[in-house]
Chains A and B, each alone.
Chain A
Amino acid sequence: MKKLLEKLKKISLALYFAPLFIFYGFIFAYPIFLTFVRSFGLFPVTPKTPSEFTLKYYFEFFQPNSVYIPSLWFSFWNSVVTTFIAAIFGYLVALYFFKANYPGKKTVSALFKSPLFVPYLVGAFMWMEILAAHGYVNGFLKSLGLINQPLRLIWDPYGIGIIIANVWMNVAFMSTLMLGALESLNPDLTYAARNLGAGTWTIVRKIYFPLTLPAFLAGSILIFVGIFGAFSVPFVLGGSWPKYLSVVIYEDVVEHGKWVQGYVSAVIYIISAVILTYVYTILMRRMAGRK
């Protein structure tokens, strides 16, 4: 009897998760599952197409001269570069807000967070106007006589515009996170090191960096995942070639009606994002554990 009651109690705990499971089950998991199934040509969306198992679209994806692999690669390295810059920059800003002391610092630090709540699309638009041929950067360089032709900073083959806009959007997130991590450190460590004659650089290198490394790595993966799968910024600032995989999927499905090909790309995109996050998390735990 007592055991039965215990069991009932455990089952009732599961009931608390019911709203979440029902919501995600119908609105998220089922559609994603259907995408996996449909990427093999089964239960097609378009009427009059027979439901047939085929790997044709996967072969198309991995074909040596297809657009898909280069797009996936471009999304990957472009987000890695962005994450790297945003993470280092954010960390330096956090160190600055942690160490500097002057009246009005609170206001400066609050204002610095404002990009956190600028919509990605608006961020993309801002940088479009700054980096475009008629924009501020080109106008300034031209008036100094440094360039004759406007530099191509957006819609360029390296995704420079995407990197600049995404760094701007994410640096505040990183600095907020790192400032939190730095503030939670025990101040006695710093005092002790100072008393033993350590300089500021030594303290940063030997105390701050190792102790805030877990937060730094966690923040980086959060930024990476967000940018890797992003759509708005590469859609607005990306060039005609190479493109982010998200933009390629959008064009395949919405503009060309290539649903199954879109599903295949989506499946591979999801798997890549999940694997990258997983591998990174494992590496992160190892690194944090060793310290």
Chain B
Amino acid sequence: MKKHWILSSKGLGNIFVAIILLFYVLFPMVVVVFWSIAEKWYPEHWWAPEKIGLSWFKALFKLVDVQLSFIQTFTIAPIVVALTALISIPAGYVFGTKSFPGKRLLENIFLIPLVVPAIATGISILSVYTAWGLRNTYWGVILAHMIGATPYMLRCVSAAFEGIDPAWEEAARNLGATRWQVVWKILVPNITPGILAGAIFAFSWSINEFVLTLLIGFPTVTTLAVKVYQYIGGYYITPNAAAAVSIFLTLPSIPIVLAMEKYVKAEYVAGVAR
């Protein structure tokens, strides 16, 4: 009789490693959940809160500025996604389907925004935005988020266009398809996964962006990331509120992680920095 897989020394070793890895990754998240529901937690009782409840969430929901940040965070991100897609698709089409001298150089040039430290970008755009009246505006923050989100979108869209075999287009043409039919039936369905992958990156970039939003948006436009900072490093430290806001900020990631498993292929990740 064959032994059950879990009883073999190899099986046990694998499970042991899996438990350690999961603990390492998930434990910090549990700590945030603890802080968000802790109503009483003294340092002597370090392992878990003494009294738990949802009062921090209830209190935060009532705060008008938190409501506003919530709305701002989750309306800015989709607009950033849409605009980055709009400006990246034409360029991605050329990168993915044509070859021309200097292509590699041009591709690298569009990765520069990821190499430049965020604070350097931040103080550079700060004075320019002030002069142009973009500081403390909703659109100013959107444009600032697009700086870092666009390289990811461009990379994903280019990879998607690269994956289209030119023979398909030719075949469709030979079979009498019109130009629009080629676009709708061949290009659109084949690049949609790439755009979705880019959208996932751009969306998470926008909700995670902190320093540019702090410099450009604060105090008029404060996304949830800035709110987290205000509660942990600002004038007063309230870890409970910071934890509750962190949970608002991280919850959308759950469907995103699941979507990522489905759409994001290794080649999309390969060319982009975090």
Contacts and interface: CB of A to CB of B under 8 A. Distances in A.
A211 interface: no
Given A16-B93, A20-B87, A222-B273, A27 B147 contact: yes
B32 A136 contact: no
Given A117-B260, A124-B232, A134-B46, 17 more contacts: A17-B106, A23-B87, A23-B150, A28-B125, A32-B124, A100-B17, A113-B261, A114-B29, A125-B32, A125-B232, A126-B246, A168-B24, A170-B274, A246-B117, A249-B119, A262-B123, A273-B115
Contacts of A30: 128
For the complex of A and B, 9 pairs with smallest distance between CB atoms: A180-B266, A229-B117, A139-B46, A117-B253, A126-B28, A266-B120, A31-B124, A19-B87, A16-B90
A249 B123 contact: yes
B123 A112 contact: no
Contacts of B233: 235-236
A68 interface: no
Interface residues of A, number: 98
A181 to B, nearest CB: 7
A225 interface: yes
B21 A93 contact: yes
A119 B250 contact: yes
Contact of B210 (A120, A181, A267): A120
A274 B115 contact: yes
B79 interface: no
Given A100-B17, A125-B228, A177-B266, A266 B124 contact: yes
A181 B269 CA distance: 11
B113 interface: yes
Residue with the greatest number of chain A CB neighbours at <10 A, chosen from B15, B18, B119, B204: B119
Contacts of A183: 266
Contact of A122 (B26, B43, B121, B246): B246
Interface residues of B, number: 85
A147 interface: no
Interface string A1-44: 00000000010010111111001100110111011001000000
Contact of A231 (B29, B119, B147): B119
B172 interface: no
A94 B229 CA distance: 33
Contacts, number: 257
A179 B25 CA distance: 17
A269 B210 contact: no
B85 to A, nearest CB: 11
A136 to B, nearest CB: 7
Contacts of B269: 173, 176-177, 180
B94 to A, nearest CB: 5
A226 B128 contact: no
B79 to A, nearest CB: 14
A112 B21 CA distance: 7
20 contacts: A16-B90, A31-B127, A32-B120, A34-B128, A35-B124, A102-B5, A108-B18, A114-B257, A119-B207, A119-B246, A121-B232, A125-B246, A129-B239, A173-B274, A180-B270, A226-B114, A226-B273, A229-B116, A246-B117, A259-B127
Contacts of A34: 124, 127-128
A277 interface: yes
A91 to B, nearest CB: 14
Interface of A: 10, 13, 15-20, 23-24, 27-28, 30-32, 34-35, 38, 45, 93, 96, 100-105, 108, 110-130, 133-136, 138-140, 142-143, 168, 170, 172-173, 176-177, 179-181, 183-184, 215, 218, 222-223, 225-226, 228-232, 235-236, 245-246, 249-250, 253-254, 259, 262-263, 266-267, 269-270, 273-274, 277
B117 A121 contact: no
A100 B274 CA distance: 28
Nearest to A231: B211
Contacts of B54: none
B102 to A, nearest CB: 11
Contacts of A17: 90-91, 94, 106
Contacts of B115: 225, 229, 273-274, 277
Contacts of B114: 225-226
A27 B125 contact: yes
B35 interface: yes
Nearest to B147: A28
A110 B273 contact: no
